[in-house]
Structure 1
Amino acid sequence: MSLLPPADLRAPAALVRSPSAARLARRVLSLLPLLLLGVWAAADWDAVRDGTARLASADPRWLPAALFFTCLGWVNAAWVRQGALPERLPAGPLLASQFAAGAANHVLPASIGAHAVTLRFLQGHGIPLARATASLALFSLAKPIAKTVVLLAFPAFFPGVLRLGHLVPGRRTLIVGAGAVGMGAAAICVLLAVVRPLRHPVLGFVRTALTDARILHTRPSRVLALWGGSAAGPVLQAGVIASVGSALGLQLSWAQVVFAFLAASTAAGAVPAPGGIGPVDAALVFALVGYGAPMDAATATAIGFRVLTVWLPLLPGMLVLTALVHRKVL
């Protein structure tokens, strides 16, 4: 007597595993980024239209510089991703993945979209999950550290920017922040001590991350890519803002605009908004006004910055993301 189920009961399982079902699932995943783009654009259409109109009336001589800094930002992101991994990655696909990751990052909060795209890209190139995750953790750790160093060192080269001292957190704010970080670390330690099944995978991840970090820091090219690129990233973004501000007649020096963005993005970066949209924009407008810029000019600069760095590359980025999913790169 056969122990196999009847053919009519085996058919659904075979259908699920069939190549046609897999192709259908991949097509759905390919169309998902475009669907998210449509929803996001519909919800923010007024800002897109207003920002585009403002840029259309701006001084066109500065807009190529803003586009140049925007494109350098994607190249720099790929450079930093390479710096966080010992293995050599193909430059072209890596750059395409970071362009697509930038689009995904503006749809999901807290860099979840960018990390998900990069994680799939690394796994597709043979990087084990634990080491790919360790690379993302090192990337996420290096960026705020490097930005903070640049922020603290900037006034030494441009003393005049300290007019914005009211944006620097006071001692009470720093104490509260340090207390929150300490409580978070203590909560993680207690969780690992109480929940024993978490201890082994977490310790394994930490060992993997420390091993890769030690290997990376024996290679000068990786150190330069990781830390130099992490420090250059916010400066390039600030270059976009300064170019847009110059195009719109913002009467501030580049040093003031760069420091205003560094301070604003550092202060508002902890809010998990998609791509930093919202909190960073509000903090940037506040910082520019603190330097004496008119409110309308500061707002127009923040909106123009988002048009060039978010809305303009969003559709091409989603198309690249769809193509990478379709070609099984992700």
Structure 2
Amino acid sequence: MTRTHDGAARPRHGATAAGVPVDEPAQPDRIRRPSDAIRFAASLVGLAAVMLLVSIAQQTTHGLQTDIVQGTAHAPRLLLTLATLVSSFGVLAVPIAFAVERLFHKDGTRVAIALLAAVIAFGVTVGLDDLVVRAAPGGVLDSLIWGGTETAPVHTDIAPVIAFVSAVGMAGRSRWQAATWTMIGLAALTGLTASYASVAALAATYFLGRAIGHGTLYAVGTPNPRPTGAAVVAALERLGPRPVRGARLDDPADDAEAGRRYGVVLAGRPAGGRVPAGRGAHGDWDLEIRVLDRDQQTAGLLYRIWRLLRLRATTTGRTLRSLRRSLEQESLMAYAVDAAGVRTPRLTGTCEVGTEAALLAYEHVPGRRLGDVPAAEITDELLTDVWRQFRAMQGGRLAHRRLQEDALLIGEDGLPYVTDLHAGETAAGDLALRLDLAQLLTTLALRTGPERAVRTAASVLGEEALGGAVPLLQRVALSRATRQALRRDRDLLTRIREQIVQLKPETEAAPARLERFRPRTIFSVVALSVAAYIVIPQVTSLDVGYLAATASWHWVVAALGAAALTYVAAALMLMGFVPERLPLRRTVLVQVAASFVKLVAPAAVGGVAVNTRYLQRSGVRPTLAVASVGASQLVGMVTHILLLVLFGFLTGSTAKATQDLAPSRTIVIAVLALGLVAGLALTVPRVRRVVASRLKSMFSGVVPRLVDVLQSPKKLCTGMGGTLLLTLAFVLCLDASIRAFGGSLPWTTVVLVFLTANAVGSAAPTPGGLGAVEGALTLALTISGLSAETATSAVLLYRLFTLWLPVLPGWGAFAFLQRKEAL
């Protein structure tokens, strides 16, 4: 076999398969391989790791460099000189020779892409050396450079070569790979021994070159290495069959992990045999060929890694397989399933197609996938037969792992066949077998309903076996396609459990723990990290000694008590706008948890999300939960505006000092400009529809919810009382913080200052209004007559009690409520 310019296998001149027609759409000249994107991302991660390492471990990097220099100082000088001469010549000569060799094999496109990557790498490294890196922090720069700042931290002579090698592709050419990387290694070694290169700089250069090479390859696209259908059919001849016609059966837009499929007609067909005329027709094929393309082995890799990390190891298959490993795995599974007595298309042979693909030849079984079979044709007899095939697989300890609709073929003879064995596992454990049962139950229930699926399964497997699937009937345990189908019937899994429990009431219904962690765990970790990043610098800026020496502690305690009262007030506010009964203690705990969440979300967003989730977990329907929280927020906003206007008037009429709190001309102009832009935008019909739909979804049901509350005077008093108490508690906390440092302001002024700063904090996009609230409070208190020192100390104490101090209790409450499934 020889290879074409795109890497596909081509029959030698005169081969008997050269004239076999294959009906398939034209393949693209270039493709973007998932593996290139993954390698690009991995190189960026490696580069970031090097930068982090040299930032925090400068002594280690310098020590490593010193050890290398001292170790090579004893090497023979003649040997080092020879290595320098060889690397200086070979680091460019070997890649050039490989490029010439590829040109002779008509692979010029890949060479051109590799040259583009080398040019980009040269430009990037020159730019980094001359412009960017010199302005980097001294610690990083000093660790990258060895021997003074005259040396470039990123090595321009090596990076383009690495980018070229990464992009040109030397897979399968071990001699060229060894020669090229030997020259690069010698060039790096001579740089280390001559003290003009450091280990850190070389590592950064390596990852940068790899990132540019694979990034260019992914952006431009690599020449398509996949063999054509004609090449696949030609390779089939080596197994013995003589094909006379073929056609592509699958849609090129289908899941890449499933591989390409071809139907093949063999010589010697009886007279009158049907031959399909078009691609994808369900004709009377003799063989069905599944092609494994090397470049598709990494398709879906990120998703599989996510599943591997998220789920326990015994519930996931091998994350990444080589082409050879995938071929062997599917072959073994096909033979094992056939040996177990399961009805499946027989595997007749396997072989490689050049160096970029492999094929598996199955006997063709004409029929339809379960998803294409009308519901009227899915009889109980058919379902029972499906369960018999499944029982045979379970008896052979064979796990399919993807028993969804496409994996079940209903033949023209009316019998079910198990197909798509590429993800299967032999010698499977109990958990994998039970997961298969949960998957097949869900697949059949989606087509026939829970009652028929469970009843036919029980008649074959028995009630005891079905009971083992109940704890595993979870969305996370099912395939991605099945989870998407469940979005149309969200309570299907619950109904399946109920059907099984009716057959076997003593069945354990508690879900099994399949996940290492849940998405909310990631949220907690990220939120805590962000909170720590925000809070720690703020807390370290406090002069604790000064605060402790000058503060009046009885007012500090009063401020702390007022801050604690805010959580009770917020709980009463929420309870008042929810007609359903809520426990006060748990509702207060939810508000404490919300104080943690608001540090990673704007102040007006975090509390709404937590309260909505809490109401849903408490049994309130999602639409009513959103309406209840929306009603409390709407009443709170209206109350806040009315109080701001009222106390602004009272303060303005009694104290001239606070007149400066009026918006400046710049703010007025900005507000008017924003209003003008918003008004012009609303003249566009599409913008009006989007805004109307957003507002409708946000406040739909709020008015009916308010009407429900108005019908209960007790609820109305609770909600309004909580709203006013919340404002009062914050005002008391701010006033006590001011008095703790010897300051004093009229109570109307304190109320106005709080209302103004709180409005600014709610509008600010920063978490918890961070920065905006402190600035507004300090400015307002200073304008109102306090000294800058007193105002700053009072604001820091106030924010300590209302924002920073509740972080750890809030995180504890958040974690506790998650464990209790209240959030």
TM-score range, shorter chain: 0.7 to 0.9
1:285 equivalent to 2:790? Answer no
Alignment partner of 2:598 out of 80, 85, 105:
105
Q: 3-state SS of the aligned residue for 1:108?
A: coil
Q: Distance in 1 between matches of 2:530 and 2:575?
A: 28
Conserved 8 A contact 1:121-1:329: yes
1:276 is matched with 769
Q: Distance in 2 between matches of 1:219 and 1:90?
A: 18
1:168 equivalent to 2:662? Answer yes
Conserved 8 A contact 1:111-1:274: no
Q: Distance in 1 between matches of 2:699 and 2:686?
A: 16
Q: Larger C-alpha radius of gyration, 1 or 2?
A: 2
After superposition, give the CA deviation of every residue in 1:187-211 in whole Å (9 maximum; x if it has no partner).
Answer: 3994476569x85x97576552221
The TM-score with structure 2 as length reference comes to: 0.36
Alignment partner of 1:236 out of 715, 725, 729:
729
1:265 is matched with 758
Q: Distance in 2 between matches of 1:9 and 1:128?
A: 41
**Structure 2 matches for 1:73-112, cutoff 5 A?**
73-112=566-605
- Name the structure with the higher strand share: 2
Conserved 8 A contact 2:650-2:748: no
Conserved 8 A contact 2:760-2:772: no
After superposition, give the CA deviation of every residue in 1:148-199 in whole Å (9 maximum; x if it has no partner).
Answer: 2112222566643453112133799668647856865873994476569x85
1:146 is matched with 639
Q: Distance in 2 between matches of 1:298 and 1:178?
A: 31
Conserved 8 A contact 2:612-2:625: yes
Change (3 A) 1:195 1:22: same
After superposition, give the CA deviation of every residue in 1:198-226 in whole Å (9 maximum; x if it has no partner).
Answer: 85x97576552221122112222333333
Higher relative contact order (CA 8 A, sep 6+): 1
After superposition, give the CA deviation of every residue in 1:113-133 in whole Å (9 maximum; x if it has no partner).
Answer: 222221211110111222212
Deviation of the 1:279 alpha carbon? 0.9
User: What is the alpha-carbon root mean square deviation over aligned residues?
Assistant: 3.4
1:60 is matched with 553
1:3 is matched with 418
Deviation of the 1:33 alpha carbon? 4.5
Conserved 8 A contact 1:285-1:295: yes
Change (3 A) 1:207 1:30: closer
Alignment partner of 1:306 out of 770, 784, 799:
799
Of stretches 11-20 and 285-294 in structure 1, the one that deviates more from structure 2 is 11-20
Alignment partner of 2:534 out of 25, 32, 40:
40
Q: Aligned letter for 1:56?
A: A
After superposition, give the CA deviation of every residue in 1:54-107 in whole Å (9 maximum; x if it has no partner).
Answer: 442211121121011111111011111112222221211111111111121122
Q: 3-state SS of the aligned residue for 2:418?
A: coil
Conserved 8 A contact 2:630-2:699: no
Conserved 8 A contact 2:571-2:722: no
Unaligned runs of 5+ in 1: none
1:137 is matched with 630
Change (3 A) 1:203 1:237: closer
1:123 equivalent to 2:616? Answer yes
Aligned length: 326
Q: Aligned letter for 1:305?
A: Y
1:220 is matched with 713
Q: Aligned letter for 2:702?
A: A
Q: 3-state SS of the aligned residue for 2:424?
A: helix
- Name the structure with the higher helix share: 1
Of stretches 273-282 and 249-258 in structure 1, the one that deviates more from structure 2 is 249-258
Of stretches 169-178 and 316-325 in structure 1, the one that deviates more from structure 2 is 169-178
Q: 3-state SS of the aligned residue for 1:250?
A: coil
Q: Aligned letter for 1:71?
A: A
Change (3 A) 1:263 1:317: same
Deviation of the 1:322 alpha carbon? 1.1
Change (3 A) 1:207 1:259: closer
Q: Aligned letter for 1:312?
A: L
Deviation of the 1:305 alpha carbon? 0.7
Q: Aligned letter for 2:532?
A: G
Change (3 A) 1:8 1:206: same
Q: 3-state SS of the aligned residue for 2:806?
A: helix
Q: Aligned letter for 1:284?
A: L
Alignment partner of 1:187 out of 659, 682, 691:
682
Q: Aligned letter for 1:166?
A: D
Q: Distance in 2 between matches of 1:280 and 1:79?
A: 25
Change (3 A) 1:315 1:206: closer
Deviation of the 1:37 alpha carbon? 3.5
After superposition, give the CA deviation of every residue in 1:270-323 in whole Å (9 maximum; x if it has no partner).
Answer: 222212221121111111111221111111111111111111121111111111
Identity value in percent: 26
Q: Distance in 1 between matches of 2:537 and 2:601?
A: 14
Conserved 8 A contact 2:555-2:740: yes
Conserved 8 A contact 2:774-2:795: yes
2:748 is matched with 255
Q: Aligned letter for 1:164?
A: T
Alignment partner of 1:317 out of 810, 815, 823:
810
The TM-score with structure 1 as length reference comes to: 0.83
